[in-house]
């Protein structure tokens, strides 16, 4: 029992919870730069053999900790692909850049691996943002279809049930007929349990001449 509202404590305030993952990722990035600096051929590692394993352990822990805080920290923001993968792809960039810069400073040839790390990290980061943009656009499109799409009825033809967060969900294939008289199928994940033959509500966006149209399925 306490006379203080737990949500008013400084470690439970939304601003602190939103800032903490970024601090964790920032410190992790600095540590990865130190690791990359120490990996330069001919310098660093021989005189400080403990740097790479010890600092790498701390850096990895902070990197994963930041992602954990975003996923389970109680933030109102949805967890997306970037918070899960960008810290990892940035690790490769930091390792490669630090090693290349150190090699240039001391006048030795950078390892091929450092250049490969930068390329892998850069391409992977760009791919993550591209996928995030694609999926965000698709979610917005499906939200519009759910609000303004043409309503019709569909029949479940195939199901596969599983659980998410202790709640039953069903991966179902639904057959429906559009306003143009053409029979179409869509496969989506539906909350709750449905069986083959069940009728469900479908909203879709008619697109003249297109074989594939956006559709949203909900239980009745």
pTM here is 0.68
Give one DSSP letter per residue of 6-51, joined into a string: GGGSGGGSHHHHHHHHHHHHHHHHHHHHHHHHHTSTTSSTTT-TTH
Residues 124 and 27 in one domain: yes
- Picking from 68-82, 117-131, 164-178, 203-217, which range would have the lowest pLDDT averaged per residue? 68-82
Residues 41 and 137 in one domain: yes
Residues 69 and 104 in one domain: yes
Residues 177 and 202 in one domain: yes
Mean pLDDT of the chain: 82
In a domain, 1, yes or no: no
Indicate whether 78 pLDDT > 80: no
Q: Which pLDDT band, with edges at 50, 70 and 90, does 76 fall under?
A: very low
Q: In CATH, what number is assigned to the domain containing residue 212?
A: 2.40.50
Residues 77 and 185 in one domain: no
Residues 137 and 154 in one domain: no
Average pLDDT (53-77) is: 77
Residues 31 and 125 in one domain: yes
Domain range holding 18? 6-141
Residues 123 and 41 in one domain: yes
- Picking from 14-23, 114-123, 129-138, 146-155, which range would have the lowest pLDDT averaged per residue? 14-23
> Which of the pair, 61 or 70, is modelled with greater confidence?
61
Listing from the earlier edge strand, what are the strands of the sheet with 183-191?
183-191, 167-177, 150-164, 199-204, 215-218
Residues 51 and 93 in one domain: yes
% of the chain beyond a pLDDT of 90: 19
Average pLDDT (76-98) is: 79
Kindly state the DSSP code that residue 180 receives in the 8-state scheme.
T
Residues 50 and 158 in one domain: no
């Amino acid at each position: 029992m306490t006379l203080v509202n737990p949500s008013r404590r400084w470690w439970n305030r939304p601003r602190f919870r939103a800032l903490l993952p970024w601090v964790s990722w920032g410190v992790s990035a600095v540590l990865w730069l130190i690791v990359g600096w120490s990996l330069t051929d001919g310098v660093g590692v021989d005189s400080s053999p403990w740097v790479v394993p010890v600092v790498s352990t701390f850096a990895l822990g902070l990197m994963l900790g930041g992602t954990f805080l975003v996923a389970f920290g109680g933030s109102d923001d949805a967890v997306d692909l970037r918070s899960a993968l960008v810290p990892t792809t940035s690790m490769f960039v930091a390792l490669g850049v630090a090693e290349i810069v150190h090699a240039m400073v001391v006048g030795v040839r950078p390892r091929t691996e450092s250049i490969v790390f930068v390329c892998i990290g850069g391409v992977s980061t760009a791919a993550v943002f591209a996928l995030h943009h694609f999926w965000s656009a698709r979610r917005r499109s499906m939200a519009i279809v759910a609000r303004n799409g043409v309503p019709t009825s569909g029949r479940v033809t195939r199901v596969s049930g599983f659980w998410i967060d202790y709640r039953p969900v069903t991966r179902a294939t639904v057959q429906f007929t559009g306003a143009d008289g053409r029979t179409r199928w869509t496969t989506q994940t539906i909350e709750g349990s449905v069986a083959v033959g069940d009728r469900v509500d479908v909203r879709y966006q008619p697109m003249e001449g297109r074989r594939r149209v956006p559709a949203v399925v909900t239980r009745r």
